[in-house]
Amino acid sequence: MPDADAIPVARTSFAAEQSRRRRQARLWGLLCLALAAGIGAALSTIAGPLLLILAAAGLRLLAWLGLAPGAMRHALHGLEGWTAGHLRALDRGFDLLAAAQRPGDLPMALAAMLDGAGLLLPGMLAAMLLWAGLARFYRRSAAASAAADLRARPPRRQDAEEHQLGNILAELALAAGQPVPRLLMVDAPEPNAGAFGASHREAVVIATRGLLERLDRRQTQGVVAHLLAATGQGDLRLAAAVEAVLGTVGAMVLVFDLPFRRGAWTTLRDLLLALAGGLPAAEADRLRAGLAASASASSMDAMNRVLGIADRWPPLGALLVAPLIPWVLLTLAQKLLVALWMLFVFGWPLGLLWRTRRYRADAGAVELLRDPEALAAALRRIDAAGLPPGGGLQELGLFHAPQQGHGPGFRERASLAFPLTPPIRRRLARLAALGAEGGQARTLGQELRGLAALRGWKAALVIGLTALLVPLTVVLAIMVGMLMLGAALFSLMGGAALASLVLRL
Amino acid sequence: MAWWILGLVVLLLVLAGLLYNGLVTARNRIRNAWSQIEVQLLRRSDLIPDLVETARGYMQHESGIFDRILEARRQATAAGAAIPARAAAEATLGRQVQGLMALAEAVPALRASEPMQRLQEELATTENRIAFARQFFNDAVLAYNNRTQTLPGSLLAGPLGFGPEAYFEAPAEAKAKPVVRF
């Protein structure tokens, strides 16, 4: 309930602030694009040379078939020259680095290596195109996909509680100065609700029956205010951008799964259809699940099953499997690389971005309703009940994704990046800072300040631990970084050398 | 030289035109926000006869409050679009309705009746919508008043008749909580 005595004095209106945030959301979408490009660069250290070899084989085949052999051979020479040129630049960079005596020599070496890094450009370009295509597809299919996943139905107007939810939506949309979203209901006992769609103009709010049964009007208002604040600040667009980064990772390693999983072929077909704009929106969840599966650790099981042929039919099976061994090694290296890069480099900016948007939506909801306590109470109820069936792949749109009792979809994501959605205690802590009761949990900043306020032997302990842990962490970070860079450079140079050898044949 | 002066005059005219358009847009935004409030006030006004009919059967001993509500409703309608008067009348009406709802809480049979529950929900949502529409209206008034009272808008606003607009707010005595006697 808004404060009846509030007379605007010098505030910017809520709607104006939201439209400013929508513009910001577009810029944050560019960060997602940059992350996708980075992932493309990291992955093309292995996939790049592989694609070069495949392209060479294709061109050669076409030339052999008599299809414009001159042009094919010309393209082959161009490709070979391009690869060899970059490889030489990279080599020279290493030589310069090894011969460097003074810090002044380093820029030269780095410039040469940067020149050689042009080898990564095709991978980056491919990842960016994949991201753009996926983001567009996810954005357009979001509402239909969520409705299909959660098995939503239109609301029954004669049902008093569903009618009330419609009223709440209309009220708060009026308060936020936004068009009223379409309402859909889900017959599930777990309380939850989510906002999905392409933009705040055509948003769909999906709520479970559990939300109506377990939450009172105030709490439901809190949930709906959060969803409207989220759609109003442009989170629907951003959700598609974030999902597309995860999808790009899956798509880039999908090629490696093709010999081992039949599902990978289906996903490849879906992906191509989606990029061409021909995949029905209701099948978006299959594509989503397929891409998540190809980037997850569980895709290794399929590989193990195929390799198990060698044990089952000893002599013949081993012969069949043997040619796959290099491929298996490549796959292992690539997936390990993906996991490392996501864990250490690309995962946390993505999580940070998304979690910050969630906290902001909470703050927006409080601004609309001036009732942080209702929001906090709703959060606690929803967290205690677990995720509604089918919500695992839609958790970005949900008001809150409980971390226990989640479906397989959630775990697939969690292995790719940190959990993207914020833990409940962090949200409660922020709501407590806005005036809700019972936020014992503290934000990181408050915890650090609490540590700084300690005195006596406790302070000595904190200082001692910090003195021990900080250098250790720094050393660890440097080592992991060197390892990853080393592995990337090694595989890039080895692969490129192999590719240029094949091209020259 | 003459060309320079002519250019300057044209430039000033264009600027004045833009300023004028801005003022008109801001005033139209207030009109729009006002019609939003009126829709919601009308909605509440339409609910009241239903409410009175439903409650009267259960609360014969409290006939005074029904008369007061209907009288407040008549006055609110009579106030029309004169904003300060209308705001005061609507605040009185809102207070009377709240008083009736509080009394109705004490009558279990009425509280449990299905039409009453429906009315209660409709009244709650309408009160909320009035509050939110009022926020919007007041924001629009604030933006307009800022425009007409600061430079350069203040140069044009006076001569062209863009006076200050009133906020939609209840006078001080109407903000007191309703007193409920059982």
* From B121, B129, B136, residue closest to A164, measured CB to CB: B121
pLDDT(A314) > 80: no
The predicted structure's pLDDT at residue A309:
74
Higher pLDDT, A497 or B48: B48
Dihedral angle over CA of A221, A227, A231, A234, nearest 10: 120
| Shortest Cα distance, chain A CAs vs residue B128, angstroms | 7
* From A8, A171, A217, residue closest to B129, measured CB to CB: A171
The predicted structure's pLDDT at residue A214:
92
Interface contact B131-A167, CB threshold 8 A: no
The predicted structure's pLDDT at residue A335:
81
Q: How far apart are CA A250 and CA A291, in angstroms?
A: 5
Interface contact A7-B167, CB threshold 8 A: yes
Q: What is the DSSP letter of B80?
A: T
Q: What angle do CA A19, A22, A26 make, to 5 degrees?
A: 145
Q: Where are the domains of chain B?
A: 15-175
Mean pLDDT of A103-131: 84
The predicted structure's pLDDT at residue A57:
82
Higher pLDDT, A134 or B102: A134
Mean pLDDT of A280-309: 80
Interface contact B132-A172, CB threshold 8 A: yes
How many domains does chain A contain in total? 1
Residue A184: beta bridge partners?
A206
Interface contact B117-A163, CB threshold 8 A: no
Q: How far apart are CA A95 and CA A202, in angstroms?
A: 57
Backbone angles phi, psi at A244, to 5 degrees: -65, -30
- Give a yes or no: residue A430 inside a domain: yes
Backbone angles phi, psi at A121, to 5 degrees: -55, -45
pLDDT(A295) > 80: no
Burial of A457 (0-12, 13-18, 19+ CB in 10 A): exposed
**A180 falls in which pLDDT band (50, 70, 90)?**
very high
Higher pLDDT, A386 or B15: B15
Residue numbers of the domain that contains A70? 14-452+471-504
Which residues have C-beta within 8 Å of that of residue A150, sequence separation ≥ 6? A186, A188, A194, A206, A208, A388, A389, A390, A391, A394
Interface contact B132-A217, CB threshold 8 A: no
Greatest pairwise CA separation for chain A in angstroms:
85
The predicted structure's pLDDT at residue A137:
93
Suggest the residue from B135, B138, B169 to mutate for an interface test with chain A (most A CBs closer than 10 A): B135
Q: How far apart are CA A367 and CA A158, in angstroms?
A: 32
Tokens for A101, please give them.
């005596």
Total residues belonging to chain A: 505
Chain A residues near residue B32 by CB distance under 8 angstroms: none
Among all residues of chain A, which has the CA nearest to that of B94?
A4
Any chain A CB within 8 A of the CB of B142? yes
Q: Are A372 and A433 in contact (CB under 8 A)?
A: no
The predicted structure's pLDDT at residue B172:
58
Catalogue the long-range contacts made by B68-76 (C-beta closer than 8 Å, 24 or more residues apart).
B68/B96, B69/B93, B69/B96, B69/B97, B69/B100, B72/B96, B73/B45, B73/B48, B76/B41, B76/B45
Higher pLDDT, A418 or A403: A403
Domain B15-175 belongs in CATH node 1.20.1440.20? yes
Range list of H helices, A186-216: 209-214
pLDDT(B63) > 80: no
| CA-to-CA separations, A87 to A43, A70, A84, A220, in angstroms, rounded | 17, 26, 5, 61
Higher pLDDT, B23 or A402: B23
Q: What is the DSSP letter of A387?
A: P
Tokens for A114, please give them.
């940067």
- Return the amino acid letter for A236: L
**First and final CA of chain A: distance in angstroms?**
76
pLDDT(B52) > 70: yes
Interface contact A7-B138, CB threshold 8 A: yes
Mean pLDDT of B3-31: 91
**A211 falls in which pLDDT band (50, 70, 90)?**
very high
SS3 A386: coil
pLDDT tens digit string along A351-409?
889 989 999 999 999 988 888 999 999 999 998 888 888 877 788 889 988 875 444 44
Any chain A CB within 8 A of the CB of B125? yes
Higher pLDDT, A301 or A430: A430
Q: Which helix (H) or strand (E) segment is A369 a member of?
A: helix A347-369
Chain A residues near residue B124 by CB distance under 8 angstroms: 217
**B174 falls in which pLDDT band (50, 70, 90)?**
very low
pLDDT tens digit string along A50-63?
778 888 888 888 88
The predicted structure's pLDDT at residue A404:
59
Interface contact B131-A160, CB threshold 8 A: no
**A301 falls in which pLDDT band (50, 70, 90)?**
confident
- Give a yes or no: residue A4 inside a domain: no
**First and final CA of chain B: distance in angstroms?**
85
**B165 falls in which pLDDT band (50, 70, 90)?**
confident
pLDDT(A243) > 80: yes
* From A13, A164, A168, residue closest to B139, measured CB to CB: A13
- Return the amino acid letter for A455: R
Which residues have C-beta within 8 Å of that of residue A283, sequence separation ≥ 6? A270
pLDDT(A131) > 90: yes
pLDDT(B17) > 80: yes
Which residues have C-beta within 8 Å of that of residue A166, sequence separation ≥ 6? A155, A157, A183
pLDDT(B6) > 70: yes
| Shortest Cα distance, chain A CAs vs residue B9, angstroms | 35
pLDDT(A234) > 60: yes
The predicted structure's pLDDT at residue A278:
81
Q: Which of A297, A331, A241 is nearest to A47 (CA)?
A: A331
Higher pLDDT, B160 or A274: A274
Any chain A CB within 8 A of the CB of B131? yes
Interface contact B121-A160, CB threshold 8 A: yes
The predicted structure's pLDDT at residue B171:
63
Mean pLDDT of A130-136: 93
Interface contact B129-A177, CB threshold 8 A: no
Which residues have C-beta within 8 Å of that of residue A342, sequence separation ≥ 6? A39, A249, A416, A417
| Shortest Cα distance, chain B CAs vs residue A185, angstroms | 20
Q: Are A251 and A334 in contact (CB under 8 A)?
A: no
Give the Cβ contact number of residue A332 at 10 Å. Answer: 13
pLDDT tens digit string along B82-93?
888 888 888 888
Interface contact A171-B132, CB threshold 8 A: yes
Suggest the residue from B39, B139, B149 to mutate for an interface test with chain A (most A CBs closer than 10 A): B139
Of all residues in chain A, what percent carry a pLDDT higher than 90?
26
Pairing type for strands A182-186 and A203-208 reads: parallel
Suggest the residue from A5, A17, A171 to mutate for an interface test with chain B (most B CBs closer than 10 A): A171
Among all residues of chain B, which has the CA nearest to that of A163?
B121
pLDDT(A3) > 60: no
DSSP state letters, A294-358: HHSTTHHHHHHHHHTHHHHSHHHHHHHHGGGHHHHHHHHHHHHHHHHHIIIIIHHHHHHHHHHHH
Mean pLDDT of A299-321: 76
pLDDT(A244) > 50: yes
| Average pLDDT for chain A | 83
Chain A residues near residue B117 by CB distance under 8 angstroms: 160
Interface contact A160-B132, CB threshold 8 A: no
The predicted structure's pLDDT at residue A11:
55
Q: What angle do CA A267, A40, A414 make, to 5 degrees?
A: 60
Chain A contacts to B (CB-CB under 8 A): 1-2, 4-8, 13, 160, 163-164, 167-168, 170-172, 174-175, 177, 217
* From A8, A160, A170, residue closest to B117, measured CB to CB: A160
- Return the amino acid letter for B74: R
Q: How far apart are CA A227 and CA A211, in angstroms?
A: 14
The predicted structure's pLDDT at residue B173:
52
Suggest the residue from B125, B167, B177 to mutate for an interface test with chain A (most A CBs closer than 10 A): B125
**A7 falls in which pLDDT band (50, 70, 90)?**
very low
The predicted structure's pLDDT at residue A168:
92
How many Cβ pairs within 8 Å bridge chains A and B? 48
The predicted structure's pLDDT at residue A458:
84
Q: How far apart are CA A299 and CA A82, in angstroms?
A: 34
pLDDT(A417) > 70: no
Mean pLDDT of A28-49: 87
- Give a yes or no: residue A146 inside a domain: yes
Give the Cβ contact number of residue A211 at 10 Å. Answer: 29
Higher pLDDT, A415 or A392: A392
pLDDT(A482) > 60: yes
| Shortest Cα distance, chain A CAs vs residue B156, angstroms | 23
Q: Which of B42, B124, B168, B116 is nearest to A170 (CA)?
A: B124
Of all residues in chain A, what percent carry a pLDDT higher than 70?
92
Mean pLDDT of B148-165: 81
